[in-house]
Structure 1
């Protein structure tokens, strides 16, 4: 079965960090964008394998929105 999962990827001086806001504790890191994408894909798949059908329904009934906010700083 295929699911769509929200993922956030952040870059800092140490590389890349990725997590899924809808899957508590599901996170990983990588030295490159390609590596972190592969790592989070594996982490999400493994995470979902541990959930019961009821838990999966609960996870996928959450609505997660992302946006960009422009702010002015004095």
Structure 2
């Protein structure tokens, strides 16, 4: 599975986050380290989300936007 991640150069290295997973972020001194770290963060995020959603009913709703 692939997730889009955003990278930002900082004074300490790189900040990285996954826009589709709120709160899922990491960092690294190098770009490569940041990308490795966000992979671990995404895996952990998904494992916790699965645990939290066990036994919970979910469904999809359609939202129609009116462009006036």
In 2, the alpha carbon distance for the partners of 1:23 and 1:36 equals 16
Larger Rg: 2
Number of the residue aligned with 2:2:
4
Number of the residue aligned with 2:21:
23
Number of the residue aligned with 1:63:
none
Q: Across the two proteins, how many residue pairs are aligned to each other?
A: 53
Number of the residue aligned with 2:62:
none
In 2, the alpha carbon distance for the partners of 1:28 and 1:34 equals 12
Q: Which of residues 28, 49, 52 in structure 2 aligns to 1:51? A: 49
Q: Which of residues 5, 13, 18 in structure 1 aligns to 2:11? A: 13
CA-to-partner distance for each residue in 1:4-51, whole Å, 9 max, x for gaps?
Answer: 211001112221000000101000111111110110000001101112
Q: Which of residues 15, 29, 33 in structure 2 aligns to 1:35? A: 33
TM-score (norm 2): 0.68
